[in-house]
């Protein structure tokens, strides 16, 4: 099996767990948008935005540092060291959140919902504790185990959501004296989204029992400092990355002028924008699946003489796939969006989705480019780039939200990722030269963008949208025919 086929195979498996898992999880969106009004869904959107920030803090770059050190060094168990560090810090962080949960709920303007904060603190701790074991599965190429564990978690979460949000109310409505009253409290309402997540995540601890038996809690200050020297810029990169993705959902409620949307409150708009943002998850899934396979791959492949050429070809194929995905998701959006967003009010922010999808595409390109500073141990440069991106996101959100509403947030996300790609490419070519096929890559992105623009300004028609997609495919088939022959020959 060729190197590219091996990477494609690993990406397909990770993609199955991510795409199928998220697709299954995404089936909850029609449930949420039919049961919960936008203001209630706004609570879920905002709190999970904060969870995304805290997830980065809880792992603080040790996942990537584990990949780097375990692939280079022999004779020392970096798994035990990384796991011990994350375990201790996670318990401390979640303990503090739990202790101040009432105050945090009041600050976020969710009085009497401190139990939501405590549940999220437990979710965060479990996510962090299993992060290093999941990294070891990837390091050892155990993609199938990774996929089974992830899909099991998502399946259990879905079943619990259906049980608490649909089945329990229906049973109690038919039989008010049902035994279900002992485990179901209608006052929790949207909180069952968080409780279901917590129970499902708790089962991760059972999945990794073989690891818990073998793990040895240990701490070596010298080795830990070496790992942290590599990891702390990755932490900054992670914070900056989640800022680009989540900041809009964290501050939209506060930065949007009251009455900007006459028919909706700010919390309702946050729920609407958060629901439409979910449609951009399809691009995120493709990027995430690729990242899971590519990160351990490029560390191993870097030792080969032809690695720059391999990395270049991977970038071209990645952009081709994501550009095609961007086009498909945008031109057919009017047909599939109402299936997921069940109340008409949630469709208000659909015009922001193409910008968000494009932002996801450029985020994937940035992940591709990031190999230069990871392979040369110049992760500080990655931190600089990510901070520039985060700063751009913050400034543009601050300026554009009062002027353009949620569209300002979408444009800010796209602009930030595009700027990060440009800076990373320019700096990367000075430190680790990869012969990227720049003009071919740009042609795919521009062609997809033109297709989306033409589709948007012409009359809505499935036939027309399909013709645009077919026209897009002709250029790649012509330009990539030699690559396709080589791949088939291998």
For residue 422, the Cα-to-chain-centroid distance in whole angstroms is: 21
Residue 196 tokens read as 């279901």
Could you tell me the end-to-end alpha-carbon distance of the chain, in angstroms, rounded to an integer?
A: 7
Calculate the CA 364 to chain-centre distance. 11
Distance CA(37)–CA(340), nearest Å, equals: 15
Most confident of 33-37, 74-78, 410-414: 410-414
Tokens of 241: 């990355």
Most confident of 5-9, 116-120, 181-185: 116-120
Calculate the average pLDDT of the chain: 84
Asked if 102 contacts 412 with a C-beta cutoff of 8 angstroms, the reply is no
Which position has the higher pLDDT, 464 or 306?
A: 464
At 476 the pLDDT is 74
Confidence class of residue 1 from pLDDT cuts 50, 70 and 90? Answer: very low
pLDDT, residue 339, reads 84
User: Average pLDDT for residues 135-164, to the nearest whole number?
Assistant: 85
- C-alpha torsion angle, residues 273, 278, 280, 285 (rounded to 10): 160
Structure confidence by residue, pLDDT tens digits, 295-317? 666 666 666 777 888 888 888 88
- Name the more confident of 461 and 128: 128
Is 200 in contact with 157 (CB distance < 8 Å)? yes
Q: pLDDT tens digits for 206-248?
A: 988 888 888 888 888 888 988 888 888 878 877 877 887 788 8
Q: What is the pLDDT of residue 327?
A: 92
Could you read off the pLDDT of 177-192 as tens digits, one per residue? 888 888 888 889 899 9
Structure tokens at 46: 């905002």
pLDDT tens digit string along 49-65? 889 889 889 998 888 88
Which residue in 233, 237, 247, 229 sits closest to 398, CA to CA?
A: 247
Least confident residue range of 27-41, 200-214, 300-314, 407-421: 300-314
Nearest to 248 by CA among 33, 396, 403: 396
* Rounded Cα–Cα distance for residues 184 and 164 (Å): 7
Parse the chain into domains and list their residue ranges. 3-27+221-489, 77-219
pLDDT on residue 18: 57
Look at residue 13 in the predicted model and tell me its pLDDT. 61
Among 282, 279, 399, residue whose Cα is nearest residue 350: 279
- Exposed / middle / buried, residue 237 (Cβ in 10 Å: 0-12, 13-18, 19+): buried
* Sign, CA torsion 6/9/11/14: negative
The rounded percent of the chain whose pLDDT value lies above 90 is 30
Give the 3-state DSSP-derived string for the chain, with helices as H, strands as E and coil as C: CCHHHHHHHHHHHHHHHHHHHHHHHHCHHHHHHHHCCHHHHHHHHHHHHHHHHHHHHHHCCHHHHHHHHHHHCCCCCHHHHHHHHHHHHHHHHHHHHHHCHHHHHHHCCCCCCHHHHHHHHHHHHHHHHCHHHHHHHHHCCCHHHHHHHHHHHHHHHHHHHHHHHHHHHHHHHHCCCCHHHHCCCHHHCCHHHHHHHHHHHHCHHHHCHHHHHHCCCCCCHHHHHHHHHHHHHHHHHHHHHHHHHHHHHHHHHHHCCCCCCCCCCHHHHHHHHHHHHHHHHHHHHHHHHHHHHHHHHHHHHCCCCCHHHHHHHHHHHHHHHHHHHHHHHHHCHHHHHHHHCCCHHHHHHHHHHHHHHHHHHHHHHHHHHCHHHHHCCCHHHHHHHHHHHHHHHHHHHHHHHHHHCHHHHHHHHHHHHHHHHHHHHHHHHHHCCCCCCHHHHHHHHHHHHHHHHHHHHCCCCHHHHHHHHHHHHHHHHHHCHHHHHHHHHC
Q: Among 3-12, 151-160, 367-376, whose mean pLDDT is lowest?
A: 3-12
- Would you say the pTM of this structure is higher than 0.85? no
Q: Where are the alpha helices (DSSP H) in 220-265?
A: 221-255
Predicted pLDDT of residue 300 = 65
CB 404 within 8 A of CB 372: no
Question: Whole-angstrom Cα distance, residue 32 to residue 197?
Answer: 14
pLDDT digits (tens, 9 = 90+) for 255-285: 999 889 988 888 889 889 988 888 887 787 7
Which range (241-255, 297-311, 369-383, 449-463) has the least confidence?
297-311
């Amino acid at each position: 099996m060729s190197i590219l086929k091996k990477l494609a195979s690993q990406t397909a498996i990770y993609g199955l767990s991510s795409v199928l898992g998220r697709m299954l999880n995404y089936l909850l969106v029609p449930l949420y948008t039919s049961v919960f009004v936008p203001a209630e869904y706004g609570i879920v959107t905002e709190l999970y935005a904060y969870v995304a920030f805290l997830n980065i803090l809880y792992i603080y770059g040790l996942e990537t540092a584990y990949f780097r050190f375990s692939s280079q060094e022999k004779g020392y168990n970096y798994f035990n060291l990384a796991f011990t560090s994350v375990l201790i810090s996670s318990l401390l962080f979640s303990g503090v959140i739990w202790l101040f949960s009432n105050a945090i709920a009041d600050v976020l303007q969710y009085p009497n919902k401190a139990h939501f904060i405590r549940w999220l603190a437990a979710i965060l701790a479990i996510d962090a504790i299993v992060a290093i074991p999941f990294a070891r599965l990837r390091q050892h190429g155990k993609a199938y185990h990774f996929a089974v564990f992830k899909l099991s978690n998502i399946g259990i979460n879905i079943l619990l959501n259906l049980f608490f949000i649909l089945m329990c109310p229906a049973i109690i409505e038919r039989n008010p004296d049902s035994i279900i009253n002992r485990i179901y409290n209608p006052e929790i309402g949207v909180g069952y989204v968080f409780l279901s997540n917590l129970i499902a995540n708790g089962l991760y601890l059972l999945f990794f029992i073989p690891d818990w038996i073998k793990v040895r809690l240990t701490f070596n200050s010298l080795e830990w400092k070496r790992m942290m020297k590599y990891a702390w810029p990755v932490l900054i990169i992670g914070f900056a990355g989640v800022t680009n993705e989540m900041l809009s959902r964290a501050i939209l409620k506060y930065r949007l002028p009251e009455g900007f949307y006459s028919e909706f409150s700010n919390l309702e708009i946050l729920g609407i924008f958060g629901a439409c943002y979910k449609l951009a998850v399809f691009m995120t899934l493709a990027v995430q699946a690729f990242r899971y396979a590519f990160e351990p791959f490029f560390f191993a492949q870097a030792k080969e003489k032809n690695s720059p050429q391999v990395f270049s070809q991977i970038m071209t194929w990645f952009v081709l796939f994501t550009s095609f995905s961007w086009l498909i998701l945008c031109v057919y959006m009017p047909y599939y969006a109402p299936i997921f967003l069940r109340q008409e009010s949630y469709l208000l922010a659909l015009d922001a989705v193409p910008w968000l999808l494009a932002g996801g595409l450029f985020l994937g390109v940035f992940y591709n480019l990031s190999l230069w500073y990871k392979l040369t141990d110049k992760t500080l440069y990655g931190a600089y780039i990510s901070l520039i991106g985060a700063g751009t996101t913050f400034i543009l959100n601050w300026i554009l939200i009062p002027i353009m509403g949620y569209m300002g947030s979408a444009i800010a996300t796209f602009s930030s990722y595009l700027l990060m790609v440009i800076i990373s490419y320019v700096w990367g070519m000075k430190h680790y030269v990869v012969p990227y096929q720049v003009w071919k890559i740009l042609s795919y992105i521009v062609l997809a963008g033109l297709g989306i623009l033409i589709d948007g300004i012409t009359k809505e028609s499935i036939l027309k949208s399909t013709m645009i997609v077919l026209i897009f495919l002709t250029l790649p088939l012509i330009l990539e025919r030699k690559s396709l022959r080589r791949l088939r020959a291998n």
